A and B are shown apart, each in its own frame.
Chain A
Amino acid sequence: MKFPLTINGAEDLVEILAPAPACRFRLGDGPERAADVRTPEPGVYSILLEGQSYDAWVEETPAGLVVVIDGYRFEIQVLDPRRWSRKSGGAGGEGTQSVIAPMPGKVVRVLVAPGDAVEPGQGLVVVEAMKMQNELRAGRAARVRTVSTTEGATVAAGEVLVTLE
């Protein structure tokens, strides 16, 4: 089974050749590797890879999976193989761009409406938590496609607030 994914923004591919616990897998064009995989706690993967022991802590967030190993943090989006396409644009690229809430909080101001043209750096939405305000800005010149929040709304981290095209 093949899992196309992005790891900290870079595209990669994991192929699972045999399931856990006696797992065999391949990363990208690399060699086939064997790993002993157990799940001692929910969301915790104990992985023995070529004699090295790793404890991988997996957390589901609205923006994808976060995997922490030995203090190092990896943001991973596992893409559905059936819907995977390379057409989706990244930040700064063409196509639709989603502006997401970087932290849970309350929307105190919505500065744009659908159809507005925005300049790079222009403020879109202001989110507040613990008395600190954070203004979310446009990364590039674009047109506002949708605004999916309102002033006074509470939002979760990773929630899409505005889309630009």
Chain B
Amino acid sequence: MFRKVLIANRGEIAVRIIRTLREMGIASVAVYSEADRTSLHVRMADEAVAVGPPPSSESYLRTDRILAAALDRGADAIHPGYGFLSENADFAAACQDAGLVFIGPSPDSIRKMGSKTAARQTAIAGGTPVVPGTEHSVTLEEARAFTASHGYPILLKAVAGGGGKGMRRVDRDADLESAFRNASSEARNSFRNAELYVERYIERPRHIEIQLLGDRQGHMIHLGERECSLQRRHQKVIEECPSPLLAVHPEMREAMGAAAIGAARAAGYYNAGTVEFLVDPERRFYFLEMNTRLQVEHPVTELVTGLDLVRLQIEIAAGAPLPLTQPEVSWRGAAIEARIYAEDPYNDFLPYPGTLTRLDRPMGPGIRLDGCVYDGWTVPMEYDPLLAKLAVWGATREQAIQRMIRALREYDVGGIRTNIGFFRQILEDEELRAGRLHTGFIEEFFARHQPPRPPADLAAVAALAASLHAASRASRAGTNGPSGGCDPAPARPSAWLNSGRNELLR
């Protein structure tokens, strides 16, 4: 087993990995940018090495500095976390070349699942269903022939495309010719390549993914699904296991698990990985992509299976065989996770960096909190504003949701704004409670949602608290202004909050 592991990451995932390393008796080495000197992962690690200025391109993405830090500190292995260098095949190869173990799959597997087209070919080779479409560019007549066998709606996509350019949804034959012409000319203008291909358009899909685990001896198992249909701007915000759909159709878990293993085997995969599927309203599922790393939402799977995925990743990387077989995997109860972000739900969810002036964390039965925040910490402006992942376990989905709402009511983060209140509103939504999820759910929720009116006395209590606070502030300031408040009870001064923020704004 390794004696020392370097974590090539920051924030909550670095803290998460350090916790398991400590449980395993393995020393941890953190890396940090200048913006993260006082971040929790640096404080918690056994050793820490500075790797550059705040921008990640000059620090957390600097392969050379991270490898030098690992060699200098005598680490045996590198855990990449998620994001940053975690799906960079060249980095995985560079680790090997430097004599370090990369805790993840082989560089070749990462490449085979790296681009959309490469991943699609790998999945087809593994016998995994993909969204029906043409493998190559088509003429207008070939596009029409595709609709004759697959029907409408379809999606025309630029072969060289990206970012929605040269993409058209077509619902009926009468629109096909003009849509084809327009998409083609848009593709030519954007990418100097007018070629288009065709995919069937999946309406109101669910996003359901399968967690895989494989060892270097060739064994592979799946740990069930996570439903991640609740997304905003293509970013997952709530994940759960079991999927409400698969809870009603348990045979789908086996079918999707087998399909995911097929795709991963075609890439020669080992270590932890996740295969993402789209599921259409007729419950047909299609390979979307494979994430060749630990997922943000892995705690959901850990809560229902009782496994520690980071420990298993480390053991597999050290050469150990899987400690369990597929029939030994069991799922108990329901788990749900909410991603707590520093963002302002009252202002279009814009990021809201700043200094925490108060922190009350939820506690009690069934709560798991993976975070990187502490009272007084300043959320840096340079990185993803994920503060914590609040995950709960309950005997049933309904109990897990009730528990999550209870936990959110206990959670207070002062000084910055967060999406905590938004989660409570969406978890009280009847459609969500009924499990009728799809990837456009949150947009539809905002369109139909009426913000709840607070109970009658709450405004009176708020007004009273504000008046007493203003009175105590005035008496503290030594003015002959209003008095009659209670004992001095200063909230932390905003000047301090501002200077903390301003220090980071460079």
Contacts and interface: CB of A to CB of B under 8 A. Distances in A.
Interface in A14-71: 14, 16, 18-21, 23, 25, 27, 33, 35, 37-39, 41-45, 47, 49, 52, 54, 56-62, 65, 67-71
B460 interface: yes
A56 B462 CA distance: 7
B427 to A, nearest CB: 11
Given A1-B484, A60-B491, A72-B454, A16 B466 contact: no
Contacts of B505: 104-106, 154
Interface string A62-94: 100101111111101010111000000000000
Nearest to A27: B460
A43 B454 CA distance: 21
B358 A57 contact: yes
Given A47-B461, A69-B462, A106-B505, A39 B489 contact: yes
B484 A45 contact: no
A65 B381 CA distance: 24
A1 B482 contact: yes
A134 B414 CA distance: 23
B54 to A, nearest CB: 12
Majority secondary structure of chain A interface residues (helix, strand, loop or mixed) = strand
Interface stretch (B104-112, B296-304, B345-353): B345-353
B280 to A, nearest CB: 33
Contacts of A58: 465-466, 469, 491
B408 interface: yes
Contacts of B491: 42-43, 58-60
A84 to B, nearest CB: 12
Nearest to B488: A39
Interface stretch (B81-89, B247-255, B492-500): B492-500
Given A1-B482, A7-B463, A71-B409, A78 B457 contact: no
B385 interface: yes
Nearest to B493: A60
B460 A67 contact: no
A116 B33 CA distance: 43
A19 B485 contact: yes
Residue from B424, B473, B482 with most neighbouring chain A CB atoms (10 Å): B482
Contacts of A47: 461, 464-465
B243 interface: no
Nearest to A47: B461
Contacts of A25: 464, 467
Contacts of B382: 130
B208 interface: no
Contacts of B501: 104, 154, 156
Interface string B372-413: 000000000111110000000000000000000000110010
The interface size bin for chain A is 35 or more
B490 interface: yes
A117 interface: no
Residue from B409, B464, B502 with most neighbouring chain A CB atoms (10 Å): B464
Contacts of A45: 465, 468-469, 486, 489
Nearest to B383: A130
Residue from A18, A42, A52 with most neighbouring chain B CB atoms (10 Å): A42
B159 to A, nearest CB: 29
Given A3-B470, A3-B471, A19-B484, A157 B350 contact: no
Contacts of B467: 3, 5, 14, 16, 25, 78
B353 A129 contact: yes
Contacts of B383: 130
Contacts of B454: 69, 72, 74
Given A43-B489, A59-B491, A71 B351 contact: no
Contacts of A68: 412
A62 B494 contact: yes
A12 interface: yes
Given A76-B463, A132-B350, A154-B505, A3 B487 contact: no
A21 B347 contact: no
Given A23-B468, A65-B466, A57 B460 contact: no
21 contacts: A1-B483, A3-B482, A16-B468, A19-B483, A20-B468, A23-B486, A25-B467, A39-B489, A43-B469, A44-B358, A45-B469, A58-B466, A60-B491, A67-B462, A69-B461, A72-B454, A72-B462, A103-B347, A130-B353, A130-B383, A132-B350
Given A58-B466, A82-B481, 13 more contacts: A1-B484, A7-B459, A14-B467, A16-B471, A18-B484, A21-B486, A44-B489, A47-B464, A47-B465, A67-B465, A69-B461, A73-B346, A129-B350
- Which 4 A-B pairs give the minimum distances between C-beta atoms? A20-B486, A43-B491, A154-B505, A130-B351
